[in-house]
Each structure stands twice: as C-alpha cells, then as structure tokens.
Chains A and B, each alone.
Chain A
C-alpha cells in the first residue's frame, strides 16, 4: 500500500477550513490532538442514530449490537497494538490510565521505603499522580536526568536509581523533544530488579504500533485522540500477572459480579476496572480510526511526516538566533520544538495564527523538562500523515519572514 498524503487529506473536511481571518488552516498541532477522518465521525453518529443502547446489560437487539460493537472495538484496538496476552482497560485517556495505576496498583502495592523511578522528561500526567501517591504513602520518587546536549537519558544514573525500585515510569517518546527513549533496555533493567514498568506511550501511539506484548512493559498508557480517534477515550494495557495485583478503583455497575448489602464480589479482567456505562461511541470511533489507519498505509506514513519535520528542523537551524531542541538526525517522532532568542514564543505563535498556522506554544505540560533546559516555553510544530510539503514550506517561509521583521 503506497501512502499518499493528498489522498488521505480528502478524509478530513476540517483541513479545508478557511479561518475567520480569511487564511486557509495549516494544522501543525498534531501532538496535542490529531484531526479525525470522516469515517470515525460517521461511525460514532451511526451508533447514536441506529443502535444507541447500553452495553453488557440487556437481551434486546440494540443492546446486543452495541455490546458486539464495543467489545469488537476492544479486540481491534488490542490487535492494532499487538496485545496478544494481557488486558486492555478503557480509560478516558493517558492521564486517567496513569492515575488508575497509581490508585489501583500503587496504593495496594507500594508503601514507605519503596521507590518509584521516573525521568526528568515526563509529562505532568506522569508526574503529578506519583507526587500525590508519595504524599499519601511516603514512597520515594527518584528522577533520572538526561543529557542536555544530545537529550539521551542518563542510563548510568538510571541503573543506579534502581535500588529498592518497585516501579519505573518512563515516557516512551517525548512530547517536547520528539525523541524515543530506549524503552526496551529500561524495561529489561527494571525487570531484572523486580520492578514493574509503566510506559507513557501517548506520543508513540500516533506513529508506532508499539507491539505491546513483545515490548513487555507491565503497564502501557495511550490516548485515542492523538491517533485519529475521538477525545474522551484511551487505554491502559496491563499484563495478566500485574492485573491480579490491582484493586478496583471506581465502584459501581458493570464492574461487579454480585452485590449484597454487606459486601460485593467483582468481575474478572478488565471489567473490574470499568465501572458504570462506558465510553461506547468513543470506543467504536477509535476502532474505526484503527481500521482507517490500516487501510491508508500507516507504516509508510511515518517516513512522510518525519521527512517534513526534518526539512523544517534543518531550515530552522539555519535561522540566526533560532534553537531547535532535539537531535539533528532525529527520526523518532515528527515534532520539533524551537525557540528564538529575541522573538518570544507566544508572539511567534500568535503571529503564525494570523497566517492560519496552528502550532503549540508554552511548557507542553513538561515544566520540569523545560526548567532543566533553562526555558519556560517553546514553540512546537508537530506533523501528521495528512500534512504536506507545501505546508512545511509555508511554515518555514513564514517563520523566516517573522524573524526578519520582528527580531
């Protein structure tokens, strides 16, 4: 299957939008969230228009259809990510998935004297839940630094920090640097000392099928909305053994087997962690996204978006006063963070918006990472399969023009 961004764009009516200022939209904030193809939106509205009903509960036709679609979605998504053994728990996204681990596994298995190892690169959603847990239980948080020149994790420091570690939390691909960490090595070193491993794969999932069972992490968290799927849904993948160590988090319908006035018994597997009416339309939409990705030639789309990001990064490196974070030859994820000496990130983003170009500016929910580089904010342009070379060129030209005029 040959990948063609121009064909694939046709599935995204939003990309033809003319903004209120008269400029055509150039959407380069894909690491925050991607656009959704029409088929995803259609699949969700078809559910509401034709077979909306609650799942797992009734014997009527609509409920069977909805249950089949919902559980079918779980299977398709698990398949996409190479989950051959273990469980897919639906959550509202990466953030909820990590919080679920902190509540369900952390509170049941960690106590004072235990250590959680994390990296300085983490997103706030993989920092704050652990700080909250540490405050409550007295577990120690240990931070692994990274090299400020080549942005590699300090693996020697990582190995040293593993003493008494019960859990290692690591971002798979950085949402600021676009760099993939050596997660295979991290998982293997952590398992050697008997620690569990959580991988935040929010920025990996859009560009990589991950191969979750082969990777061997105990927990993997992803969000659908960063990979053509709807907002409001994501997943926590948990291997079978680790799942048995987790206590239920939210109590209510769907997660129980039997309820008595003095006690309740729980479902087995993922259901135990999915209380209440689940995100039915969202799961169906996410599965449709995965189907769409398989049909458009996902594997070859990565080199296309990487090429665009590299072209922009190379051009930006030639602009006087511009710093591009990340490695020069980086082909891990198609996103680049950049910052100019004398044109403030917020001004740059506002002026790009006046040209129709949407990028992200700020701390990217990674304040410790930025602080460690002596920064408070950067601009970030992130590409996805539907972006074109013309859009990359337009970004380059516009940034060059703005720097010339305003710095």
Chain B
C-alpha cells in the first residue's frame, strides 16, 4: 500500500529530526546541526559525479543517485561541495530511506519548512532544495519504468 507522506504523517525517523529542529530558536544552532547531518548520508564519491547525477539550478555543486531493491526499498546516495546542502540532502535521504518508489514520487517537500529551514536559506538555496527533490522524484519515476 502506498502512503502519502506529508505534514502530520512523516516517516518516524524524519519526524524525529523535524522535532529536533523545531525545538531550536537560534538560527546558527540550526545551521550547526544541519552541518553535522552532512555526515549522515551514504556519500557519492566525487569520482562518480557526472552530468547524470548533477542537480541543476543549485548554487553549489550537488549530485544524487537513487537506488531501489525489493528487500530494502528506496535508498539515496549523494554529495555536495557545500556541507549545508549535503546536510539537507542527508535529512532527505533519512526521510526517504526504505520507502516504495510510489511513496518517493509523492513525497511532500514541506518537511524543510517544518524544520524551519526555508526561511533561513537564501531564495536561491531554497530553490536548489526544490530542484534536488524534483530530480530525486524524476529519477525515481525513471527507475519505475
């Protein structure tokens, strides 16, 4: 059965991160935690960065690769030269981990604003985040076909 993930209904691991972020008042502290999350992604080594992995319309260089197996579900691999970007990517990967292809394609981007990130990231970065999720979802659609 396909679940529609969005506000009020996030995967538990992502809900935990959203709660962690929403308890923080200080903008710098939020960035600090996001920076530390950059370690939490299955990193795509720079040698594998290519035209097919690049997220276009991102201020810094960001790359993603989507994988899926029947046993463990969806898994995101990725990296970025800017750590805050990679941190947001890592949080995204935690949210999407193990989901079905259908669930990934329909995943709502609203978790970033619930984490209080959209109003502290510059408009071009916020845009970069939307482009990243869009590419994840488009690549996932291609996996399905």
Contacts and interface: CB of A to CB of B under 8 A. Distances in A.
B52 to A, nearest CB: 20
B85 interface: yes
B25 to A, nearest CB: 9
B31 interface: yes
Interface stretch (A90-98, A225-233, A345-353): A345-353
Nearest to B121: A350
B59 A362 contact: yes
Contacts of A346: 59-60, 82, 84-85, 125
A376 B82 CA distance: 12
Nearest to B128: A346
Contact of A344 (B32, B81, B119): B81
Interface centre among A21, A345, A405 (most CB of B within 10 A): A21
Interface in A180-215: none
Given A354-B120, A362-B59, A347 B83 contact: yes
B83 A406 contact: yes
A344 B82 CA distance: 5
B60 A351 contact: no
B108 interface: no
B47 interface: no
B128 to A, nearest CB: 10
B31 A354 contact: yes
A346 B85 CA distance: 9
A247 interface: no
Given A21-B27, A406-B35, A350 B81 contact: no
Interface in A305-354: 344-347, 350-351, 353-354
Interface size class of B (residues with CB under 8 A): 10 to 19
A368 to B, nearest CB: 19
Nearest to A343: B83
A345 B84 CA distance: 11
Interface in B46-64: 59-61
Interface centre among A345, A347, A354, A376 (most CB of B within 10 A): A347
Contacts of A20: 119
Interface string B12-47: 000000000000001110011001000000000000
B59 A350 contact: no
A279 interface: no
A124 interface: no
Nearest to A407: B83
B69 interface: no
A355 interface: yes
Contacts of B119: 20
B83 A344 contact: yes
B122 interface: yes
B82 to A, nearest CB: 4
Contacts of B28: 351, 354-355
A166 to B, nearest CB: 38
A306 B122 CA distance: 29
Interface string A286-309: 000000000000000000000000
A354 B27 contact: yes
Given A354-B27, A354-B31, A355-B28, A347 B120 contact: no
Nearest to B80: A344
Contacts of B59: 346, 362
Contacts of B85: 346
Contacts of A350: 31, 84, 120-122, 125
B132 to A, nearest CB: 14
Interface string B93-135: 0000000000000000000000000011110010000000000
A66 B26 CA distance: 50
A405 B82 CA distance: 15
B81 A21 contact: no
A360 B26 CA distance: 22
Contacts of B121: 350
A318 to B, nearest CB: 24
A16 to B, nearest CB: 20
Contacts of A355: 28
Contacts of B61: 376
Nearest to B60: A346
Contacts of A362: 59
Contacts of B83: 344, 347, 406
A21 B122 CA distance: 14
Interface string A1-34: 0000000000000000000110000000000000
A376 B59 CA distance: 10
Given A346-B60, A354-B28, A21 B120 contact: yes
14 contacts: A21-B26, A21-B27, A21-B120, A345-B82, A346-B59, A346-B84, A350-B120, A350-B122, A350-B125, A353-B120, A354-B27, A354-B31, A376-B61, A405-B32
Given A21-B27, A347-B82, A362-B59, 4 more contacts: A21-B26, A345-B82, A354-B28, A354-B31
